[in-house]
Amino acid sequence: MLRSSNRNPGERTITIETIRFLNPNVAIVDTKYEIKLESNQVRNLWSTFIVVQQEGNWKIAAIRNMSPAQR
């Protein structure tokens, strides 16, 4: 994620839409992901995070970014 951010500079905003717990220590987090590029163009994406709790801390185990479907 850091490499992608360095290659594509811009202001990023992630807004959590839903959290679904698979068990007390694993969850799926669906978000809206917006990137405001230096050109002021805005890219709207969706992101899904798989998060796991280890030793009391939540950590991202996997990320999937995708563009919304065209209507």
**Distance separating alpha carbons of residues 64 and 71, to the nearest angstrom:** 21
E strands, the chain, are 10-23, 26-37, 42-54, 57-66
Phi, then psi, of 25 in degrees rounded to 5: -115, 5
Query: pLDDT at residue 67 above 90?
Result: no
Q: Give the span between the Cα atoms of 56 and 53, in whole angstroms.
A: 6
* Prediction pTM value: 0.77
Is residue 6 left, alpha or beta, with left meaning phi > 0 and alpha meaning psi from -120 to 50? alpha
Kindly report, residue by residue over 9-51, the tens digit of the pLDDT. 788 899 999 999 999 999 999 999 898 988 888 888 999 999 9
The first and second tokens of residue 12, run together, are 């990023």
